[in-house]
Amino acid sequence: MPVDVNLMVGGEAGQGVQAAGYVMAKALARGGYYIFADQDYESRVRGGHNFFRIRAADREIGAISEALDVLVAFNGESVDLHKKELADKGVVVFDKDKVKNIDGSINHFGVPLEQLAEDAAKNKIMSNVVALGVTMSLLDYDLDLLSNAVSEHFDAGDAGKANVAAATAGYQYARANFKGDFIAHLSPIGQSKRMLLDGNEAIALGAMAAGCKFVAAYPMTPSTSIMEYMAAKADDFDLVVVQPEDEIAAINMIIGAAFAGVRAMTVTSGGGFCLMVEGLGLAGMTETPIVVVEGQRAGPAIGLPTRTEQGDLEFVLHASHGEFPRAVLAPATVQDAFWTAVKAFNLAEEYQMPVIILNDQYLASCYATVEPFDLSRVEIKRGQLLPESETARSGEYRRYEITPSGISPRALPLQQGALVVSDSDEHDQEGHLIEDAETRTAMMLKRLRKLEGLRKEIAGPMTYGPAQAEMTLIGWGSTYGALKEAVDLSNRDGLKVNLVHLNEIWPFPAEAVTRALQGTKIRYAVENNATAQLAHLLRAETGYQVTGKILKFDGRPFSPDHIVRELKKEVA
Amino acid sequence: MAKISDYAGKPPAWCPGCGNFAILTAVKRALVELDIEPYRVLMVSGIGQAGKLPHYTRCNVLNVLHGRTLPAAAGAKIANPELTVIAVGGDGDGYGEGGNHFLHSLRRNHDITYLVHNNQVYALTKGQASPTSDLGFVTKTTPHGAWMPLNSLAVAIAAGGSFVARGFAGDVDHLVGLIKKGMQHRGFALIDILQPCVSFNHKNTYAWYRERVYKLEDTGYDPGNRLAAFEKSQEWGDRIPTGVIYREDRATFEEQIPALKKGSLVKQKIDPRQVEVLIQEFL
């Protein structure tokens, strides 16, 4: 029997939902399971309702599936909200002294969680870790693997020991009281050498591997954890992370730093990006290489601050006044997020332009097991950087020299023999401001010419499923995992479905997309937004129209099951 | 040795008689007197007539957006602290559009020199009120007169400025001295420069300023006392003080960053393999 188990930990903010969920995922990953986990939280520090969903399987997975095998409920509200999601044999693990709304129709395991935490660790706050022990026991999982993950997460010191005691108490309680009532038998299936990390961590690692030395960013969900991760590592990795007064300062700071010669990045969400738009144009005009991570959340304005959406695609494509080249990359998976970050820095420097990584709340905070990134494959392509030996010899330098590729060799300030002059006004080849029509035209053409080379660097769409299908799903960015599984589920159910998915969006890979769509009959745009923004772009760039749209803009990610249900409705 | 001719740039497009000419001369002289070669200097400027100054000299230049001079200058300084960074802008640019950056750059104490050409009017857009226009100053956009002016020096002292000074474009020798002091200061040096606008400000003219300005150093004033400096910053009207109003010795932003202790970020090698230890942490 293939293993495929869905677990959810639910409770209030402050009850340790995230910690319990993360440690469970980590312990399962250590035992060789593939993990996919996502998080749902509210914009509050205490109270409300949060959940952490984990799917563990013995094959690679890229999305959560809806039916819950286990619901670990830290409060009654979690039971009320999620009991309808339980699978036929799904069970609820809960604190029997606190949660009283369990009706007899639900399979349940009531445990005195707080009492056990108090007895084992003298701290009832550790009831979340007791629940973890109970759950892993019911899954017939290995206690040592769990204890190690607990101890690592809560530090090896006294806190770690107390938490291990709490986990062990829960584990043994379940062994003693629910003899033989296993939900599943998840014995470890080998020593995992996979990483468990979320999309933001993958972006941060990718940026650091690519040699990003400067980050300026203003905290904004869902991108804050990128800057927090990098700030924590900054002193050991010789990088600088600055939290300035606002997003406007952030983008202008990285422009200053990139102009001086370091790889620089800012991270934000749509609202913060709104403030950065003017700066984006400055990077375009001055041809300064910067990387901007835009982690989309549901807008407009403050919208749903902690929730996901793909509502900013057309915004980032067109952000800022005037016309200038840019690249827009939209990572599809956690693994892809790392390589996207690496590529973003290379494209930014090779083509001397802003590169936007269009992330979203879902990918930012979902965890996946991935093979360790092979750092020997990380290429650093800094583009045409003139060495000081050359500028010192020639003594002549023109920052915006007109070239066939549109790319002007770059010198850095404080290089002997080269004075680097950059201007936000239209400028001549030396960088000084001009107003004449001829120079303006030449400079616009020079900048836009960079797109010709850039176009060749942009990957075509990822395709999945049978080559010949009756229906083609078209998606982009973080929905890849759900779409891929939806294709499998649909084909299993007798539909003939395949997928064309973009993770590199601008310059639009029109030829490759056209090839991928040739011969398709029915095309569905599947997007986490209300207006099918990729479908607009597709029509503008290729002439292909979609025949239907499956859209979701409630702040929640797609599940494969949801996509299949919608598809079946369309077919019916 | 740096020479004035090293700093010869394009001919300025300012109005004849503009106070900016004197500021340009003073900046060049200060750089030469401190013997700094053009390739070591980065001038970052905003938008307005003042923002054009770097084009009229020779050095590294980053001319940015209206009001965004300071964050861009700070980013460049952090990336390469070996650069001599001079930020240049006007009163509308720095105190209006860039007001938030002004406050926080003072607080952070980046090691840059900030020259504010304060002509109390928007000149590039042809004569509207600025944040420092005198009370009641009538323009096309303020037909009932400008509101109370922003006291930028008082704000600078309150916001944690470590070097706060005022110069006058009508006294180049004095201004040269101030710019040199500002550049030698460890930290953020604000030099607000009274700059007569011959086209759009017919109130605050050379003559108007000349009747009022005096030099603090002639009065035995001690710029080391923050409260006294705050009091001095309130003086405007019949008498206008010039010179260093406040100065303190405080660690710069850049000095406090561990990553910069090994030198410029620009010179650090990129090696993806360094990240291997982090990958291990996720296993």
- CATH number of the domain that residue A354 is part of: 3.40.50.970
Query: For residue A119, is it within any domain?
Result: yes
- Looking at the fold, whether A442 and A425 belong to one and the same domain comes out as yes
Q: At what angle do helices A143-153 and A127-138 cross, to 10 degrees?
A: 150
Cα nearest neighbour of B99 on chain A: A245
- Looking at the fold, whether A165 and A80 belong to one and the same domain comes out as yes
Interface test with A, best of B85, B101, B114, B265 (most A CBs within 10 A): B265
The DSSP code for B165 is E
Report the relative pairing of strands A421-423 and A354-360 from DSSP bridges: unpaired
The residue ranking higher by pLDDT, A182 or B95, is: B95
- The pLDDT value given to residue B210: 97
Q: Which residues of B touch A210 (CB under 8 A)?
A: 270, 272
* Biggest CA-to-CA distance, chain A: 86
If you average pLDDT over residues A108-134, what whole number do you get? 95
Yes or no, beta carbons of A282 and B68 under 8 Å apart: yes
- Looking at the fold, whether A310 and A168 belong to one and the same domain comes out as no
If you average pLDDT over residues A428-439, what whole number do you get? 97
Q: Which residues of A touch B270 (CB under 8 A)?
A: 210-211, 263, 380
pLDDT, one tens digit per residue, over A79-110 is 999 999 999 999 999 999 999 998 888 889 99
Alpha carbon A84 to chain centroid distance? Answer: 28
Token pair, residue A281, equals 């144009």
Nearest to A318 by CA among A269, A283, A277, A359: A277
- The pLDDT value given to residue B141: 96
Cα nearest neighbour of B103 on chain A: A245
Q: Which residues of B touch A242 (CB under 8 A)?
A: 78
Which CA distances in Å does A356 have to A226, A297, A360, B47?
A: 15, 15, 12, 26
CATH label of the domain that carries residue A151: 3.40.920.10
CB pairs under 8 A between A and B: 199
Q: Which residues of B touch A420 (CB under 8 A)?
A: 60-61
Report the relative pairing of strands B121-122 and A34-40 from DSSP bridges: unpaired
Vertex A66 angle, CA A64 and A67, to 5°: 125
- Looking at the fold, whether A233 and A325 belong to one and the same domain comes out as yes
If you average pLDDT over residues A528-547, what whole number do you get? 98
- The pLDDT value given to residue A571: 85
- The pLDDT value given to residue A78: 96
Residue A201, chain B, CB below 8 Å: the answer is yes
Chain B nearest-CA distance from A155, in A, is: 14
- Looking at the fold, whether A423 and A498 belong to one and the same domain comes out as no
Going by C-beta distance under 8 Å and a sequence separation of 6 or more, which residues neighbour residue B173? none
Helix (H) or strand (E) holding B41: strand B41-45
Chain A nearest-CA distance from B175, in A, is: 26
Question: How would residue A245 be classed by pLDDT, with cut points 50, 70 and 90?
Answer: very high
Residue A417, chain B, CB below 8 Å: the answer is yes
Residue B68, chain A, CB below 8 Å: the answer is yes
State which of A158, A192, A226 marks the end of a domain: A192
Yes or no, beta carbons of B63 and A248 under 8 Å apart: no
Query: For residue A383, is it within any domain?
Result: no
- The pLDDT value given to residue A232: 98
Query: For residue A205, is it within any domain?
Result: yes
Alpha carbon B83 to chain centroid distance? Answer: 16
SS3 B120: coil
State which of A145, A165, A192 marks the end of a domain: A192
Q: Please tell me the pTM assigned to this model.
A: 0.97
Yes or no, beta carbons of B42 and A260 under 8 Å apart: yes
CATH label of the domain that carries residue A488: 3.40.50.920
Chain B nearest-CA distance from A279, in A, is: 8
Whether residue A395 has pLDDT greater than 90: no
Q: Which residues of B touch A426 (CB under 8 A)?
A: none
> Which ranges of B12-109 would DSSP assign to H, the alpha helix?
19-33, 69-79, 91, 99-108
- Looking at the fold, whether A278 and A232 belong to one and the same domain comes out as yes
Q: Which residues of A touch B260 (CB under 8 A)?
A: 240
On whether ipTM exceeds 0.85, the answer is yes
- The pLDDT value given to residue A117: 97
Q: Which residues of A touch B55 (CB under 8 A)?
A: 421, 423, 432-433
Token pair, residue A22, equals 């993360």
Looking at the 3D structure of chain A, how many domains does it have? Answer: 4
- Looking at the fold, whether A423 and A276 belong to one and the same domain comes out as no
Whether residue A339 has pLDDT greater than 90: yes
- The pLDDT value given to residue B95: 98
B101 closest CB neighbour out of A245, A416, A419: A245
Yes or no, beta carbons of B62 and A208 under 8 Å apart: no
- Looking at the fold, whether A203 and A293 belong to one and the same domain comes out as yes
Vertex A142 angle, CA A140 and A146, to 5°: 115
Q: Give the DSSP per-residue string, A493-536.
A: TT--EEEEEESEEES--HHHHHHHHTT--EEEEEESSSS-HHHH
* Biggest CA-to-CA distance, chain B: 74
Residues A21 and A51: their CA atoms lie apart, in Å, by 8
Query: For residue A382, is it within any domain?
Result: no
State which of A325, A348, A377 marks the end of a domain: A377
Domains of chain B: 4-257 (3.40.50.970)
- The pLDDT value given to residue A237: 95
- The pLDDT value given to residue B171: 98
A249 closest CB neighbour out of B61, B101, B283: B101
Residue A421, chain B, CB below 8 Å: the answer is yes
Percentage of chain A modeled with pLDDT above 70: 100
Query: For residue A353, is it within any domain?
Result: yes
Residue A286, chain B, CB below 8 Å: the answer is yes
Nearest to B117 by CA among B178, B194, B200, B204: B194
Stretches where chain B sits below pLDDT 50 are: none
Nearest to A6 by CA among A17, A21, A18, A19: A21
Q: Give the DSSP per-residue string, B217-272.
A: GGGT--TT-HHHHHHHHT--SS-EEEEEEEE-----TGGG-GGGGGS-GGGSPP-G
Q: What is the mean pLDDT of chain A?
A: 96
Whether residue A1 has pLDDT greater than 80: no
Token pair, residue B146, equals 């400008």
Interface test with B, best of A200, A394, A424 (most B CBs within 10 A): A424
Token pair, residue A344, equals 């973003």
Q: Which domain holds residue A330?
A: 197-377
- Looking at the fold, whether A304 and A219 belong to one and the same domain comes out as yes
- Looking at the fold, whether A10 and A47 belong to one and the same domain comes out as yes
Alpha carbon A441 to chain centroid distance? Answer: 39
Yes or no, beta carbons of A252 and B258 under 8 Å apart: no
- Looking at the fold, whether A132 and A158 belong to one and the same domain comes out as yes
The DSSP code for B96 is I
Whether residue A204 has pLDDT greater than 90: yes
- The pLDDT value given to residue A191: 73
Whether residue A281 has pLDDT greater than 80: yes
pLDDT, one tens digit per residue, over A158-169 is 888 999 999 999
| Stretch among A179-193, A239-253, A442-456, B50-64 having the lowest mean pLDDT | A179-193
- Looking at the fold, whether A400 and A298 belong to one and the same domain comes out as no
Residue B276, chain A, CB below 8 Å: the answer is yes
Query: For residue A555, is it within any domain?
Result: yes
Instruction: Decide: B133 and B139 in contact? Cβ < 8 Å.
Output: yes
C-beta neighbour count of B184 within 10 angstroms = 12
